Structure 1
Amino acid sequence: MEKLNVFEQIMDVHEASDLWGLSVPRLKAICQEGLVDAKKFGNSWVILKDQPNPKQRERKK
């Protein structure tokens, strides 16, 4: 059985910024608004990689 590595399933806002094409401040706001699966640890946000780009949701509004 393959061991699940949780660190391969998460990213920080800088990695998400590169992946999703959004600015870091906008991503922090998206996390705070609860528009993505994310958790704040201290001053940093940790975001699940396996979810849709929030930019696509913003266009639908």
Structure 2
Amino acid sequence: MILDIAAGDYIQRELNCLADDGRLVFIAMLGGAKAHIHFGQVLLRRLTIARPPLRPRPVAVHGRHPA
């Protein structure tokens, strides 16, 4: 697992570093919000690209689970 605070041009390098079935988690975008990546690598190596819910949510949402 890689926790990424940079994003931008660093994404492809981080994908190259991940082991098969690895996970790349974005926690910030200090390097920019756009990147050029090879999605074939993501599919073939079963990589996961995710982001945690870092923003506050309304109280009504806290008890609800996704379907």
The answer to whether the superposition gives a TM-score over 0.5 is no
User: Which of the pair has more CA radius of gyration?
Assistant: 2
Q: Report the TM-score range of the alignment, normalised by the length of the smaller protein.
A: under 0.3
Q: Is the strand fraction higher in 1 or 2?
A: 1
Q: Is the helix fraction higher in 1 or 2?
A: 1
